Amino acid sequence: MVDALKGLGADIEATEDGMRIKGTGGVAGGTVDSHGDHRIAMLGAVAGIASREGVGVIDMDAASVSYPGFSGDLARLTARFSPTQSSSICHFS
């Protein structure tokens, strides 16, 4: 989680029991590789909605482990979801 958010421009550091995030007004955007982790896939998608440039999520299909309809629900809520040619790489902005 920390690495994913740091890669998007967040001012974040890992702590012994979690993380510390310094508010900066948002994240720039970029790409997050979920590495098959549903939590990181969903974090990337939600961060993309709040980012300035959008976030591409590699292996977005991982979100279906805990929330099979996540991408569809997020798309309906935001109307800002654009799947690329591969269904496992999605862009959120």
Q: Which domains does the chain have, with CATH numbers?
A: 2-92 (3.65.10.10)
Mean pLDDT of all residues in 79-88: 55
| pLDDT tens-digit readout, 27-62 | 999 999 999 999 999 999 999 988 999 999 999 999
* DSSP-derived 3-state class of residue 36: coil
The model carries a pTM of 0.82
* pLDDT for res 28: 95
* pLDDT for res 80: 57
| β-pair type (89-92, 55-58) | antiparallel
Place of tokens 């961060």: 47
